[in-house]
Protein backbone atom coordinates (compact mmCIF):
# COMPACT_ATOMS: atom_id res chain seq x y z
CA UNK A 1 0.00 0.00 0.00
CA UNK A 2 1.38 3.38 -0.96
CA UNK A 3 1.88 5.99 1.79
CA UNK A 4 -0.60 8.88 1.91
CA UNK A 5 0.44 12.04 0.11
CA UNK A 6 -0.56 15.60 0.92
CA UNK A 7 -1.43 17.56 -2.18
CA UNK A 8 -0.82 21.35 -2.35
CA UNK A 9 -4.55 21.96 -2.70
CA UNK A 10 -5.32 20.01 0.47
CA UNK A 11 -4.23 22.64 2.99
CA UNK A 12 -5.76 21.55 6.30
CA UNK A 13 -8.42 23.57 8.06
CA UNK A 14 -7.39 25.25 11.32
CA UNK A 15 -8.11 23.34 14.55
CA UNK A 16 -11.68 23.57 15.78
CA UNK A 17 -12.02 25.03 19.27
CA UNK A 18 -13.99 22.92 21.74
CA UNK A 19 -14.37 23.51 25.47
CA UNK A 20 -12.47 26.52 26.82
CA UNK A 21 -11.83 27.15 30.52
CA UNK A 22 -9.64 29.59 32.43
CA UNK A 23 -6.67 27.17 32.22
CA UNK A 24 -7.35 24.92 29.19
CA UNK A 25 -8.34 24.93 25.52
CA UNK A 26 -9.71 21.88 23.74
CA UNK A 27 -8.81 21.51 20.04
CA UNK A 28 -10.15 19.14 17.37
CA UNK A 29 -9.04 18.50 13.79
CA UNK A 30 -9.56 16.21 10.78
CA UNK A 31 -13.29 16.19 11.52
CA UNK A 32 -14.02 15.16 7.92
CA UNK A 33 -11.74 12.14 8.30
CA UNK A 34 -9.75 13.09 5.18
CA UNK A 35 -6.62 11.43 6.53
CA UNK A 36 -7.51 7.78 5.91
CA UNK A 37 -6.18 5.28 8.41
CA UNK A 38 -5.43 2.06 6.61
CA UNK A 39 -2.56 -0.30 7.10
CA UNK A 40 0.13 0.07 9.79
CA UNK A 41 0.42 3.29 11.77
CA UNK A 42 3.64 4.22 9.94
CA UNK A 43 1.51 4.83 6.83
CA UNK A 44 -0.87 7.26 8.55
CA UNK A 45 -0.66 11.03 8.43
CA UNK A 46 0.80 12.52 11.64
CA UNK A 47 -0.75 15.59 13.27
CA UNK A 48 1.04 18.31 15.21
CA UNK A 49 -0.42 21.28 17.07
CA UNK A 50 1.88 24.30 17.21
CA UNK A 51 1.49 27.32 19.49
CA UNK A 52 2.67 30.75 18.43
CA UNK A 53 5.09 32.68 20.63
CA UNK A 54 3.66 36.23 20.33
CA UNK A 55 6.96 37.88 21.23
CA UNK A 56 9.30 35.89 19.00
CA UNK A 57 6.72 35.13 16.26
CA UNK A 58 7.93 31.55 16.25
CA UNK A 59 6.06 28.28 16.78
CA UNK A 60 6.57 25.50 19.30
CA UNK A 61 5.10 22.01 19.04
CA UNK A 62 2.78 21.20 21.96
CA UNK A 63 1.35 17.95 20.57
CA UNK A 64 2.36 15.45 17.91
CA UNK A 65 0.81 12.08 17.16
CA UNK A 66 -2.10 10.39 15.42
CA UNK A 67 -5.02 11.53 17.60
CA UNK A 68 -7.56 14.10 16.38
CA UNK A 69 -8.06 15.87 19.71
CA UNK A 70 -5.82 17.57 22.25
CA UNK A 71 -6.44 19.58 25.42
CA UNK A 72 -3.89 22.34 25.99
CA UNK A 73 -3.56 22.76 29.76
CA UNK A 74 -1.64 24.89 32.24
CA UNK A 75 -2.66 28.15 30.52
CA UNK A 76 -3.15 31.60 32.05
CA UNK A 77 -6.67 33.02 32.56
CA UNK A 78 -8.00 35.72 30.19
CA UNK A 79 -5.09 35.29 27.76
CA UNK A 80 -5.09 35.10 23.95
CA UNK A 81 -3.44 32.04 22.38
CA UNK A 82 -2.86 31.21 18.70
CA UNK A 83 -2.51 27.70 17.28
CA UNK A 84 -2.05 26.02 13.92
CA UNK A 85 -2.27 22.44 12.71
CA UNK A 86 0.58 20.71 10.87
CA UNK A 87 -0.17 17.55 8.88
CA UNK A 88 2.81 15.39 7.90
CA UNK A 89 2.55 12.51 5.45
CA UNK A 90 4.56 9.29 5.92
CA UNK A 91 6.87 10.48 3.14
CA UNK A 92 7.70 13.63 5.10
CA UNK A 93 5.62 16.18 3.17
CA UNK A 94 3.80 18.62 5.42
CA UNK A 95 1.12 21.29 5.23
CA UNK A 96 0.14 23.97 7.76
CA UNK A 97 -3.36 25.23 8.51
CA UNK A 98 -4.25 28.89 8.99
CA UNK A 99 -3.98 30.14 12.58
CA UNK A 100 -6.86 29.97 15.04
CA UNK A 101 -7.01 32.47 17.92
CA UNK A 102 -8.78 31.76 21.20
CA UNK A 103 -8.79 33.35 24.66
CA UNK A 104 -9.05 31.52 27.96
CA UNK A 105 -11.88 32.55 30.26
CA UNK A 106 -11.84 34.53 33.50
CA UNK A 107 -10.77 32.51 36.54
CA UNK A 108 -13.78 31.62 38.72
CA UNK A 109 -13.90 33.38 42.07
CA UNK A 110 -12.05 31.56 44.85
CA UNK A 111 -11.11 28.58 42.66
CA UNK A 112 -7.43 28.95 43.52
CA UNK A 113 -8.17 28.91 47.27
CA UNK A 114 -10.59 26.05 46.75
CA UNK A 115 -7.98 23.86 45.06
CA UNK A 116 -5.32 24.86 47.57
CA UNK A 117 -7.59 23.69 50.40
CA UNK A 118 -7.92 20.28 48.77
CA UNK A 119 -4.23 20.02 47.92
CA UNK A 120 -3.15 20.57 51.55
CA UNK A 121 -6.03 18.50 52.99
CA UNK A 122 -7.59 21.48 54.80
CA UNK A 123 -11.07 20.18 55.61
CA UNK A 124 -12.28 23.29 57.48
CA UNK A 125 -11.28 25.69 54.70
CA UNK A 126 -12.87 23.48 52.06
CA UNK A 127 -16.18 23.41 53.94
CA UNK A 128 -16.15 27.22 54.40
CA UNK A 129 -15.51 27.83 50.70
CA UNK A 130 -18.27 25.43 49.64
CA UNK A 131 -20.71 26.99 52.12
CA UNK A 132 -19.92 30.43 50.69
CA UNK A 133 -21.36 29.32 47.35
CA UNK A 134 -18.88 31.36 45.27
CA UNK A 135 -17.15 28.42 43.61
CA UNK A 136 -18.42 25.52 41.54
CA UNK A 137 -17.49 22.20 43.08
CA UNK A 138 -16.33 20.79 39.72
CA UNK A 139 -14.20 23.75 38.58
CA UNK A 140 -10.89 22.30 37.29
CA UNK A 141 -7.47 23.47 38.38
CA UNK A 142 -4.86 24.65 35.86
CA UNK A 143 -3.95 21.04 35.02
CA UNK A 144 -7.53 20.00 34.26
CA UNK A 145 -8.12 18.17 37.56
CA UNK A 146 -11.28 18.66 39.60
CA UNK A 147 -11.01 18.82 43.38
CA UNK A 148 -12.39 15.27 43.58
CA UNK A 149 -9.66 13.99 41.26
CA UNK A 150 -6.96 15.53 43.45
CA UNK A 151 -8.53 14.24 46.69
CA UNK A 152 -8.98 10.76 45.20
CA UNK A 153 -5.40 10.66 43.93
CA UNK A 154 -4.00 11.76 47.31
CA UNK A 155 -6.27 9.45 49.30
CA UNK A 156 -8.07 12.20 51.24
CA UNK A 157 -11.20 10.16 51.95
CA UNK A 158 -12.84 12.79 54.21
CA UNK A 159 -12.48 15.43 51.48
CA UNK A 160 -13.82 12.97 48.92
CA UNK A 161 -16.94 12.50 51.05
CA UNK A 162 -17.40 16.27 51.48
CA UNK A 163 -17.09 16.90 47.75
CA UNK A 164 -19.50 14.09 46.84
CA UNK A 165 -22.03 15.35 49.39
CA UNK A 166 -21.78 18.77 47.73
CA UNK A 167 -22.72 17.37 44.33
CA UNK A 168 -19.42 16.77 42.56
CA UNK A 169 -19.63 14.58 39.45
CA UNK A 170 -17.68 11.38 40.16
CA UNK A 171 -17.47 10.54 36.45
CA UNK A 172 -15.83 13.73 35.18
CA UNK A 173 -12.54 13.25 33.30
CA UNK A 174 -9.36 15.29 32.98
CA UNK A 175 -7.64 16.20 29.70
CA UNK A 176 -6.20 12.71 29.23
CA UNK A 177 -9.56 11.08 29.92
CA UNK A 178 -8.84 9.82 33.44
CA UNK A 179 -11.55 10.01 36.07
CA UNK A 180 -11.28 10.02 39.86
CA UNK A 181 -11.72 6.25 40.10
CA UNK A 182 -8.76 5.58 37.78
CA UNK A 183 -6.57 7.96 39.79
CA UNK A 184 -7.52 6.34 43.09
CA UNK A 185 -6.93 2.84 41.69
CA UNK A 186 -3.48 3.77 40.40
CA UNK A 187 -2.54 5.38 43.74
CA UNK A 188 -3.83 2.41 45.74
CA UNK A 189 -6.44 4.12 47.93
CA UNK A 190 -8.91 1.30 48.46
CA UNK A 191 -11.21 3.24 50.80
CA UNK A 192 -11.60 5.95 48.15
CA UNK A 193 -12.15 3.36 45.41
CA UNK A 194 -14.95 1.69 47.39
CA UNK A 195 -16.61 5.01 48.19
CA UNK A 196 -16.53 6.21 44.57
CA UNK A 197 -18.02 2.91 43.40
CA UNK A 198 -20.87 3.26 45.90
CA UNK A 199 -21.58 6.72 44.47
CA UNK A 200 -21.76 5.88 40.78
CA UNK A 201 -18.19 5.57 39.47
CA UNK A 202 -17.96 3.04 36.63
CA UNK A 203 -15.48 0.27 35.82
CA UNK A 204 -16.35 0.71 32.14
CA UNK A 205 -15.02 4.29 31.82
CA UNK A 206 -11.99 4.68 29.53
CA UNK A 207 -9.30 7.31 29.15
CA UNK A 208 -8.17 8.66 25.76
CA UNK A 209 -5.95 5.61 25.25
CA UNK A 210 -8.85 3.26 25.95
CA UNK A 211 -7.49 2.19 29.35
CA UNK A 212 -9.85 1.38 32.21
CA UNK A 213 -9.42 1.63 35.98
CA UNK A 214 -8.07 -1.93 36.04
CA UNK A 215 -5.31 -1.03 33.57
CA UNK A 216 -4.29 1.79 35.91
CA UNK A 217 -4.59 -0.36 39.03
CA UNK A 218 -2.29 -2.90 37.35
CA UNK A 219 0.20 -0.11 36.63
CA UNK A 220 0.05 1.02 40.26
CA UNK A 221 0.68 -2.53 41.46
CA UNK A 222 -1.61 -2.36 44.51
CA UNK A 223 -2.82 -5.93 44.97
CA UNK A 224 -5.44 -5.18 47.62
CA UNK A 225 -7.14 -2.76 45.24
CA UNK A 226 -6.99 -5.21 42.34
CA UNK A 227 -8.40 -8.04 44.47
CA UNK A 228 -11.37 -5.92 45.51
CA UNK A 229 -11.96 -4.71 41.95
CA UNK A 230 -12.16 -8.30 40.73
CA UNK A 231 -14.53 -9.21 43.59
CA UNK A 232 -16.67 -6.21 42.64
CA UNK A 233 -17.12 -7.57 39.12
CA UNK A 234 -14.53 -5.57 37.20
CA UNK A 235 -13.88 -7.05 33.72
CA UNK A 236 -10.44 -8.71 33.67
CA UNK A 237 -9.74 -8.99 29.94
CA UNK A 238 -10.81 -5.52 28.81
CA UNK A 239 -8.63 -4.33 25.90
CA UNK A 240 -7.30 -0.78 25.47
CA UNK A 241 -7.67 0.98 22.12
CA UNK A 242 -4.05 2.01 21.73
CA UNK A 243 -1.88 -1.11 21.87
CA UNK A 244 -4.62 -3.72 22.16
CA UNK A 245 -3.44 -4.59 25.68
CA UNK A 246 -5.41 -6.22 28.47
CA UNK A 247 -4.33 -5.39 32.05
CA UNK A 248 -2.31 -8.64 32.11
CA UNK A 249 -0.52 -7.68 28.90
CA UNK A 250 0.20 -4.23 30.31
CA UNK A 251 1.77 -5.72 33.42
CA UNK A 252 3.79 -8.13 31.29
CA UNK A 253 5.08 -5.38 29.00
CA UNK A 254 5.61 -2.52 31.47
CA UNK A 255 6.25 -3.53 35.08
CA UNK A 256 6.62 -7.31 35.14
CA UNK A 257 4.91 -7.36 38.56
CA UNK A 258 4.50 -11.08 39.33
CA UNK A 259 1.96 -10.65 42.15
CA UNK A 260 -0.34 -8.54 39.99
CA UNK A 261 0.02 -10.95 37.07
CA UNK A 262 -0.83 -13.91 39.35
CA UNK A 263 -3.95 -12.15 40.65
CA UNK A 264 -5.18 -11.45 37.14
CA UNK A 265 -4.47 -14.99 35.94
CA UNK A 266 -6.23 -16.50 38.98
CA UNK A 267 -9.23 -14.30 38.13
CA UNK A 268 -9.37 -15.82 34.64
CA UNK A 269 -7.27 -13.44 32.54
CA UNK A 270 -6.51 -14.91 29.11
CA UNK A 271 -2.79 -15.79 28.97
CA UNK A 272 -2.93 -16.49 25.22
CA UNK A 273 -4.51 -13.23 24.06
CA UNK A 274 -2.46 -11.30 21.47
CA UNK A 275 -1.98 -7.54 21.10
CA UNK A 276 -1.93 -5.63 17.82
CA UNK A 277 1.64 -6.74 17.18
CA UNK A 278 0.77 -10.39 17.72
CA UNK A 279 2.50 -10.62 21.12
CA UNK A 280 1.12 -12.67 24.01
CA UNK A 281 1.72 -11.71 27.67
CA UNK A 282 4.55 -14.27 27.85
CA UNK A 283 6.26 -12.83 24.79
CA UNK A 284 5.92 -9.33 26.24
CA UNK A 285 7.43 -10.22 29.60
CA UNK A 286 10.35 -12.01 27.89
CA UNK A 287 11.03 -8.83 25.88
CA UNK A 288 10.84 -6.76 29.08
CA UNK A 289 13.34 -9.01 30.87
CA UNK A 290 15.73 -8.90 27.91
CA UNK A 291 15.58 -5.08 27.94
CA UNK A 292 16.34 -5.02 31.66
CA UNK A 293 19.30 -7.36 31.20
CA UNK A 294 20.74 -5.09 28.50
CA UNK A 295 20.51 -2.08 30.83
CA UNK A 296 22.17 -3.98 33.69
CA UNK A 297 25.02 -5.22 31.49
CA UNK A 298 28.23 -3.23 32.22
CA UNK A 299 29.66 -1.33 29.29
CA UNK A 300 32.98 -2.63 27.94
CA UNK A 301 35.80 -0.18 28.48
CA UNK A 302 37.92 0.52 25.43
CA UNK A 303 41.68 0.11 25.75
CA UNK A 304 43.80 2.71 23.97
> In this prediction, what percent of the chain has a pLDDT beyond 70?
85
Q: CATH 2.60.40.10 occupies which residues in the chain?
A: 16-103
DSSP class of 173: B
The candidate with the shortest Cα–Cα distance to 39, out of 12, 66, 11, is 66
The model's pLDDT over 51-99, given as tens digits with 9 standing for 90+, comes to 999 899 899 999 999 889 999 999 999 999 999 999 998 888 999 999 9
CATH superfamily of 108-202: Ankyrin repeat-containing domain (1.25.40.20)
Class of the domain covering 203-294: mainly alpha
> CB-based contacts of 19: which residues, under 8 Å, 6+ apart?
26
Q: How much is the pLDDT for 247?
A: 92
Give the whole-angstrom CA distance, residue 189 versus residue 152: 8
Q: How much is the pLDDT for 242?
A: 77
Q: CATH 1.25.40.20 occupies which residues in the chain?
A: 108-202, 203-294
The model's pLDDT over 157-168, given as tens digits with 9 standing for 90+, comes to 999 999 999 999
For the chain, the straight-line distance linking the first and the last C-alpha, in angstroms and rounded, comes to 50
> In this prediction, what percent of the chain has a pLDDT beyond 90?
63
Give the whole-angstrom CA distance, residue 105 versus residue 188: 35
Q: How much is the pLDDT for 264?
A: 92
Write the CATH number of the domain with boundaries 16-103: 2.60.40.10
Amino acid sequence: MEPQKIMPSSRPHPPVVGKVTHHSIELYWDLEKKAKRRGPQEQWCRFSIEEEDPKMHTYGIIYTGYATKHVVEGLEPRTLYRFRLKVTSPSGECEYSPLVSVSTTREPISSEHFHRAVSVNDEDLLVRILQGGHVKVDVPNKFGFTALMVAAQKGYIRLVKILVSNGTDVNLKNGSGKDSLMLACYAGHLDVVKYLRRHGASWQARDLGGCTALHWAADGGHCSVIEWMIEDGCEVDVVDTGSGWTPLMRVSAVSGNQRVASLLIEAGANVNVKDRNGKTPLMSVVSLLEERKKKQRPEKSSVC
